[in-house]
Structure 1
């Protein structure tokens, strides 16, 4: 079966006229004409398809009738000649009418088929003619359109060449102007840059000069502050030394008081060689600050001495302990100027912890020289520390030992320094 688009196409036989414009035909008119031609082609194709369908139906009917006729013929041939002698007159009449009607139908069908074939052939010839005419028209229009397109392309190329030449000239002119403006801008920029560099150099010099002045002022202030700190520290050290001397004097005074006590040797057995006299224990005091050392010393001088009363004979053995040392103040880092001086603390160093003296008990197991009897064994006792008493010989109850009034928390085994609570 052939392609319907390649078969005969119905085309209008009328010649189309187009308005001539500056560069060829009007494109809208050409497009409208082509659309009309395509519509006519579609209509012709639809008519042709309908005619072919109708001819196919008629051909089918004709073949069916031919088949029936052939069947009837074969049936008639096989049954032998029909005679009407044995039939009634009525049946004979009906058969003759049927034969006549069949012959009439056959003739009408043949005539109709012949007419249909002639009509189909005529339509086919007409379609071929219209297709040829339409193809010629289309070829002519295509040739004209191609020629017009070539003319338009040539004119467009000429116009494009002209525009490119003008654009190149304009670009060259603009490039020259741009180069001139760029040179001018670069010159102005160099002038402005030199001015900014000079201004920046002047500002840097002023800033360096002001920074040097400020640094000198800060160094002077730091030196002054350091000198003041040194003088304050020396004053605090002098105050601490005064407090230490005062405490040492008081300890010596307490020792002399203990040595001037009445001799009670007639009421107690003779001490063995190497025995030691009990020494009064000095309770440790909290580390005084430079601002509180002198007022406390003054209050200690104004306090009356506590009365000396009898105490038990059992005394703890004096054990030397290590006195807590004052915390070393870190040295300020060198080279930091005012910042290092500002970070240096202004508080004077704390004085060493006041040493406490504890009496040595009479230990019969220890032996020494007579000079050791008058020697007082000093033991620095830290705050909160507890002395562990050593076993000693128990004296008679009539023995009187020098002592001071004990603190509330003491058991009476360690006498306190007179004048201290």
Structure 2
């Protein structure tokens, strides 16, 4: 059957519509196809799994990575950078429109190649040693990714160390997940899915961490080696986040988000940073304002506080471990803050946003990794008198369908 792709779905597959004789039309999903392309292929259910391109889009490019057809780490390498940036911006505009909102949405800022400083890789023992890589597209098959175009050079240089860990603590029947972070003092590796940590394995892993130069190695939640704290620098503060802790995916993306947030709260004397993590925004903002940081993970709050105490030239930073989903800061607690920064997880923060809407906070900088929940929360604020002044699209996950948003709200 021949079809013409109408649009991209939220997972990056193109969507076309086919009509049954005398019946309603239905969507057909096609991998690695762009809007406007005419294709031909067999349809199975609601998918055309192997479309053949008859008329290519002018936005089609040759995928730069040789692993693209087998690896599931990227979804949009067949599209031009301009197309992807415009599509991600349109995703945000559409999400806002779905809530009846309009705003000035800036062009997407895309992180460069080889800039992902944190990734979860998978590993499996083989007859010849170990295989490290990403899963294939919609598959459990593990694909090796030598010379991956996403990861920083330091992460790629750490593959021999990861292979050694898999050979020591993996099994032929199971698969390990290795969360690897590029820190200023070396790689920080957290492993799950490995063999039980007995005394012999503990000693072997500690020796491997030493010989491979890992900053820290964590096995099933237990730190087995700490050569030196795996530091990140948030403004003037050196911070060692806990194993596997959240970190902005790229330095370029973090810098873009921080610039937006800093501009939004400029001039504020007291700032509340909600879902503060280990201090990505709170610590740099402490150069210009007193900050109260709130985060549900006590270990991240402890790392933030330690980083503040190790820094110089910062104003006072107070911190609180608190579940903001169950116990959001209310209007009374928000009294006296000139601005609020809020960076919730994908589910958004409806309860906390309703409390912000009921408060007298004059300015809010909101960061989100989900345009749909962002738009829902934005509508709550706008309905209570806030103006959505501007929105930035930050693309830290190059060639993926992931979209991040930063927004400025002020009281009318």
Q: One fold, TM greater than 0.5?
A: no
- Larger Rg: 1 or 2? 1
Q: Which has the higher contact order (CA 8 A, sep 6+)?
A: 1
Q: Going by fraction, where is strand more abundant, 1 or 2? A: 2
Which TM class, normalised by the smaller chain length? under 0.3
